[in-house]
Amino acid sequence: MTSTDLTVSGPPAWPGCALGAWASAWLGGRCAPDDVTDTLAEFASRHDLVDATAALDADLPDDARLGLLAILRRAGTLEVRLPTAGDPRGLPPDPATAAALAAGEILLVHDYAGGDTTIGLVPTLAEGMCRWTLHRFRTPVPIVGPDPLGQVEYDLREAIRETATIIGDLGASDSRLTPTQLRSAVAALTTRHRVILPPHDDPRATRVIDSAAQVEAIITLAGAQAPTFGSTARHVETGDARLRGLAARARTARAAAVDHVIREYLPATR
Protein backbone atom coordinates (compact mmCIF):
# COMPACT_ATOMS: atom_id res chain seq x y z
CA MET A 1 0.00 0.00 0.00
CA THR A 2 1.40 3.41 -0.98
CA SER A 3 1.27 6.65 0.97
CA THR A 4 -1.43 7.82 -1.41
CA ASP A 5 -3.53 4.73 -0.64
CA LEU A 6 -3.26 5.56 3.05
CA THR A 7 -4.25 9.17 2.40
CA VAL A 8 -7.29 8.36 0.29
CA SER A 9 -8.68 5.46 2.31
CA GLY A 10 -10.16 5.80 5.77
CA PRO A 11 -13.18 7.22 7.60
CA PRO A 12 -14.76 10.61 6.87
CA ALA A 13 -12.94 13.64 8.22
CA TRP A 14 -14.24 16.41 10.50
CA PRO A 15 -16.39 14.59 13.09
CA GLY A 16 -16.56 17.73 15.25
CA CYS A 17 -18.08 19.72 12.39
CA ALA A 18 -20.67 17.02 11.73
CA LEU A 19 -21.54 16.70 15.42
CA GLY A 20 -21.90 20.46 15.81
CA ALA A 21 -24.25 20.77 12.84
CA TRP A 22 -26.44 17.77 13.65
CA ALA A 23 -26.55 18.47 17.39
CA SER A 24 -27.69 22.03 16.72
CA ALA A 25 -30.45 20.68 14.44
CA TRP A 26 -31.54 18.33 17.22
CA LEU A 27 -31.48 21.06 19.88
CA GLY A 28 -33.39 23.31 17.50
CA GLY A 29 -36.11 20.70 17.06
CA ARG A 30 -35.28 19.86 13.43
CA CYS A 31 -34.13 16.26 13.87
CA ALA A 32 -34.18 13.42 16.40
CA PRO A 33 -31.35 12.41 18.75
CA ASP A 34 -31.06 9.17 16.76
CA ASP A 35 -30.05 11.28 13.75
CA VAL A 36 -27.12 12.62 15.77
CA THR A 37 -25.97 9.18 16.93
CA ASP A 38 -26.38 7.80 13.39
CA THR A 39 -24.12 10.61 12.16
CA LEU A 40 -21.49 9.66 14.74
CA ALA A 41 -21.64 6.05 13.54
CA GLU A 42 -20.48 7.23 10.10
CA PHE A 43 -17.09 8.09 11.60
CA ALA A 44 -16.41 5.05 13.76
CA SER A 45 -18.15 2.00 15.16
CA ARG A 46 -16.75 2.77 18.62
CA HIS A 47 -16.69 6.10 20.46
CA ASP A 48 -14.94 6.98 23.68
CA LEU A 49 -15.49 10.04 25.86
CA VAL A 50 -12.69 11.24 28.15
CA ASP A 51 -13.13 14.10 30.63
CA ALA A 52 -9.57 15.45 30.61
CA THR A 53 -10.11 18.37 32.99
CA ALA A 54 -12.94 17.13 35.24
CA ALA A 55 -15.16 19.52 33.33
CA LEU A 56 -18.48 17.95 34.25
CA ASP A 57 -20.44 18.05 37.48
CA ALA A 58 -22.37 14.84 36.78
CA ASP A 59 -21.72 11.26 35.78
CA LEU A 60 -22.19 10.37 32.12
CA PRO A 61 -23.79 7.29 30.56
CA ASP A 62 -21.43 4.44 29.73
CA ASP A 63 -22.29 4.80 26.03
CA ALA A 64 -20.08 7.66 24.79
CA ARG A 65 -22.58 8.74 22.14
CA LEU A 66 -25.30 9.12 24.78
CA GLY A 67 -22.78 10.95 26.93
CA LEU A 68 -22.18 13.43 24.12
CA LEU A 69 -25.92 14.02 23.83
CA ALA A 70 -26.12 14.63 27.57
CA ILE A 71 -23.38 17.27 27.31
CA LEU A 72 -24.79 18.95 24.24
CA ARG A 73 -28.29 19.09 25.73
CA ARG A 74 -26.91 21.61 28.24
CA ALA A 75 -25.30 23.87 25.62
CA GLY A 76 -26.21 27.52 25.24
CA THR A 77 -24.89 27.47 21.71
CA LEU A 78 -22.24 25.62 19.71
CA GLU A 79 -19.36 26.69 17.52
CA VAL A 80 -16.62 24.92 15.59
CA ARG A 81 -13.05 26.16 15.31
CA LEU A 82 -10.44 24.55 13.05
CA PRO A 83 -7.10 25.79 14.40
CA THR A 84 -3.69 24.93 13.04
CA ALA A 85 -0.09 25.74 13.97
CA GLY A 86 0.37 29.50 13.89
CA ASP A 87 -3.37 30.13 13.61
CA PRO A 88 -5.29 29.24 16.80
CA ARG A 89 -8.48 30.81 15.40
CA GLY A 90 -8.92 33.08 18.40
CA LEU A 91 -8.61 30.35 21.02
CA PRO A 92 -6.85 31.52 24.20
CA PRO A 93 -3.67 29.93 25.62
CA ASP A 94 -5.05 26.87 27.37
CA PRO A 95 -4.52 23.08 27.47
CA ALA A 96 -7.78 22.81 25.54
CA THR A 97 -6.30 24.95 22.78
CA ALA A 98 -3.19 22.78 22.67
CA ALA A 99 -5.39 19.71 22.21
CA ALA A 100 -7.40 21.47 19.51
CA LEU A 101 -4.23 22.46 17.64
CA ALA A 102 -3.02 18.86 17.70
CA ALA A 103 -6.35 17.58 16.36
CA GLY A 104 -7.07 20.50 14.03
CA GLU A 105 -10.65 20.67 15.23
CA ILE A 106 -12.71 21.53 18.31
CA LEU A 107 -16.42 21.84 18.99
CA LEU A 108 -17.04 24.61 21.51
CA VAL A 109 -19.99 24.33 23.92
CA HIS A 110 -20.70 27.88 25.05
CA ASP A 111 -22.65 28.84 28.18
CA TYR A 112 -22.62 25.25 29.38
CA ALA A 113 -25.46 24.43 31.82
CA GLY A 114 -26.65 28.02 31.82
CA GLY A 115 -23.37 29.46 33.11
CA ASP A 116 -20.54 31.33 31.41
CA THR A 117 -18.37 28.22 31.05
CA THR A 118 -16.95 27.14 27.70
CA ILE A 119 -16.33 23.44 27.18
CA GLY A 120 -14.46 22.00 24.22
CA LEU A 121 -14.88 18.58 22.59
CA VAL A 122 -11.80 17.48 20.66
CA PRO A 123 -12.20 14.42 18.39
CA THR A 124 -9.41 12.11 17.25
CA LEU A 125 -9.88 9.17 14.90
CA ALA A 126 -7.66 6.10 15.14
CA GLU A 127 -8.02 2.36 14.52
CA GLY A 128 -11.77 2.34 14.06
CA MET A 129 -12.49 4.45 17.13
CA CYS A 130 -13.35 8.11 17.64
CA ARG A 131 -12.15 9.49 20.96
CA TRP A 132 -13.79 12.67 22.23
CA THR A 133 -11.67 14.48 24.80
CA LEU A 134 -13.58 16.95 26.93
CA HIS A 135 -11.86 20.12 28.16
CA ARG A 136 -13.09 23.00 30.28
CA PHE A 137 -11.46 26.31 29.29
CA ARG A 138 -10.07 28.24 32.22
CA THR A 139 -11.86 31.38 31.00
CA PRO A 140 -14.97 31.72 28.81
CA VAL A 141 -14.20 31.82 25.08
CA PRO A 142 -16.00 34.64 23.26
CA ILE A 143 -18.28 33.57 20.44
CA VAL A 144 -16.99 34.61 17.02
CA GLY A 145 -19.57 35.13 14.29
CA PRO A 146 -18.98 33.12 11.11
CA ASP A 147 -17.49 34.86 8.08
CA PRO A 148 -20.11 35.96 5.50
CA LEU A 149 -20.77 33.02 3.19
CA GLY A 150 -20.87 35.22 0.10
CA GLN A 151 -17.26 36.34 0.59
CA VAL A 152 -16.19 32.83 1.61
CA GLU A 153 -17.72 31.37 -1.53
CA TYR A 154 -15.95 33.94 -3.69
CA ASP A 155 -12.59 33.15 -2.06
CA LEU A 156 -13.18 29.45 -2.66
CA ARG A 157 -13.76 30.02 -6.38
CA GLU A 158 -10.29 31.54 -6.53
CA ALA A 159 -8.88 28.62 -4.55
CA ILE A 160 -10.49 26.09 -6.91
CA ARG A 161 -8.83 27.80 -9.87
CA GLU A 162 -5.48 27.50 -8.10
CA THR A 163 -6.01 23.83 -7.24
CA ALA A 164 -6.89 23.12 -10.88
CA THR A 165 -3.37 24.26 -11.75
CA ILE A 166 -1.92 22.09 -8.99
CA ILE A 167 -3.70 18.95 -10.13
CA GLY A 168 -2.59 19.71 -13.68
CA ASP A 169 1.02 19.95 -12.49
CA LEU A 170 0.67 16.61 -10.72
CA GLY A 171 -0.72 14.97 -13.83
CA ALA A 172 2.15 16.31 -15.94
CA SER A 173 4.86 15.32 -13.44
CA ASP A 174 6.35 11.92 -12.74
CA SER A 175 3.53 11.28 -10.28
CA ARG A 176 2.99 7.70 -9.18
CA LEU A 177 -0.64 8.06 -10.28
CA THR A 178 -2.05 7.98 -13.79
CA PRO A 179 -4.57 10.70 -14.80
CA THR A 180 -7.42 8.26 -14.20
CA GLN A 181 -6.05 7.38 -10.78
CA LEU A 182 -5.64 11.07 -9.97
CA ARG A 183 -9.29 11.75 -10.78
CA SER A 184 -10.41 8.78 -8.68
CA ALA A 185 -8.20 9.84 -5.78
CA VAL A 186 -9.54 13.41 -5.87
CA ALA A 187 -13.12 12.11 -5.92
CA ALA A 188 -12.49 9.78 -2.97
CA LEU A 189 -10.75 12.48 -0.94
CA THR A 190 -13.48 15.00 -1.70
CA THR A 191 -16.03 12.55 -0.32
CA ARG A 192 -13.91 12.05 2.82
CA HIS A 193 -13.59 15.79 3.48
CA ARG A 194 -17.24 16.65 2.78
CA VAL A 195 -19.32 17.33 5.89
CA ILE A 196 -22.87 16.02 5.49
CA LEU A 197 -25.08 18.75 6.90
CA PRO A 198 -28.61 18.33 8.32
CA PRO A 199 -31.48 19.91 6.37
CA HIS A 200 -31.02 23.68 6.35
CA ASP A 201 -32.28 26.78 4.56
CA ASP A 202 -29.21 28.26 2.85
CA PRO A 203 -27.89 26.32 -0.18
CA ARG A 204 -24.68 28.36 -0.06
CA ALA A 205 -23.62 26.46 3.05
CA THR A 206 -23.70 23.17 1.13
CA ARG A 207 -21.90 24.71 -1.86
CA VAL A 208 -19.17 26.06 0.42
CA ILE A 209 -18.78 22.69 2.18
CA ASP A 210 -18.49 20.89 -1.16
CA SER A 211 -16.00 23.39 -2.58
CA ALA A 212 -13.86 23.31 0.57
CA ALA A 213 -13.83 19.50 0.38
CA GLN A 214 -12.63 19.63 -3.22
CA VAL A 215 -9.88 22.12 -2.43
CA GLU A 216 -8.69 20.12 0.57
CA ALA A 217 -8.77 16.88 -1.43
CA ILE A 218 -6.31 18.28 -3.95
CA ILE A 219 -4.15 19.78 -1.19
CA THR A 220 -4.01 16.40 0.58
CA LEU A 221 -3.16 14.60 -2.63
CA ALA A 222 -0.46 17.11 -3.53
CA GLY A 223 1.03 16.73 -0.06
CA ALA A 224 1.12 12.94 -0.44
CA GLN A 225 3.00 13.41 -3.74
CA ALA A 226 5.53 15.75 -2.10
CA PRO A 227 8.66 13.92 -3.36
CA THR A 228 7.70 14.85 -6.95
CA PHE A 229 5.98 18.17 -6.25
CA GLY A 230 8.32 20.84 -7.65
CA SER A 231 11.52 20.51 -9.58
CA THR A 232 13.87 22.46 -7.29
CA ALA A 233 14.16 23.12 -3.57
CA ARG A 234 12.88 26.66 -4.13
CA HIS A 235 9.88 25.42 -6.12
CA VAL A 236 9.06 22.85 -3.43
CA GLU A 237 9.23 25.54 -0.73
CA THR A 238 7.00 27.86 -2.78
CA GLY A 239 4.61 24.99 -3.46
CA ASP A 240 4.39 24.15 0.24
CA ALA A 241 3.55 27.77 1.12
CA ARG A 242 0.92 27.79 -1.63
CA LEU A 243 -0.68 24.62 -0.24
CA ARG A 244 -0.71 26.04 3.29
CA GLY A 245 -2.48 29.17 2.07
CA LEU A 246 -5.09 27.14 0.22
CA ALA A 247 -5.59 24.88 3.24
CA ALA A 248 -6.21 27.92 5.44
CA ARG A 249 -8.90 29.14 3.04
CA ALA A 250 -10.56 25.73 2.97
CA ARG A 251 -10.59 25.51 6.77
CA THR A 252 -11.99 29.02 7.11
CA ALA A 253 -14.73 28.19 4.61
CA ARG A 254 -15.67 24.89 6.24
CA ALA A 255 -15.92 26.46 9.71
CA ALA A 256 -17.96 29.37 8.35
CA ALA A 257 -20.45 27.05 6.61
CA VAL A 258 -20.90 24.79 9.64
CA ASP A 259 -21.22 27.72 12.05
CA HIS A 260 -23.72 29.35 9.68
CA VAL A 261 -25.90 26.24 9.93
CA ILE A 262 -25.46 26.12 13.71
CA ARG A 263 -26.59 29.76 13.98
CA GLU A 264 -29.65 28.91 11.88
CA TYR A 265 -30.76 26.43 14.56
CA LEU A 266 -29.22 27.95 17.69
CA PRO A 267 -28.92 31.74 17.55
CA ALA A 268 -26.26 32.95 19.98
CA THR A 269 -28.87 35.07 21.78
CA ARG A 270 -31.51 32.35 22.22
Helices (H), 115-202: 149-172, 179-193
- What pLDDT was estimated at residue 11? 78
Q: How far apart are CA 254 and CA 248, in angstroms?
A: 10
- What pLDDT was estimated at residue 100? 97
Q: How far apart are CA 181 and CA 33, in angstroms?
A: 39
Mean pLDDT, residues 24-36: 96
Write down the pTM of the prediction: 0.88
3-state secondary structure labels for all residues of 171-194 = HHCCCCCCHHHHHHHHHHHHHHHC
- Of 10, 32, 11, give the one whose Cα is nearest residue 198: 32
The helices-and-strands tally (H runs, E runs) of the chain is 9, 5
- What pLDDT was estimated at residue 169? 67
pLDDT at 1 over 50: no
How does residue 139 score in pLDDT terms, banded at 50, 70 and 90? very high
- What pLDDT was estimated at residue 149? 93
Please state the domain extents for the chain.
3-10+146-258, 15-145
Q: How far apart are CA 150 and CA 47, in angstroms?
A: 36
- What pLDDT was estimated at residue 146? 81
pLDDT at 233 over 70: no
Average pLDDT, the chain: 86
- What pLDDT was estimated at residue 222? 80
- What pLDDT was estimated at residue 227? 43
Instruction: Residue count of the chain, please give it.
Output: 270
pLDDT in tens, 82-123: 999 989 999 999 999 999 999 999 999 999 988 889 999 999
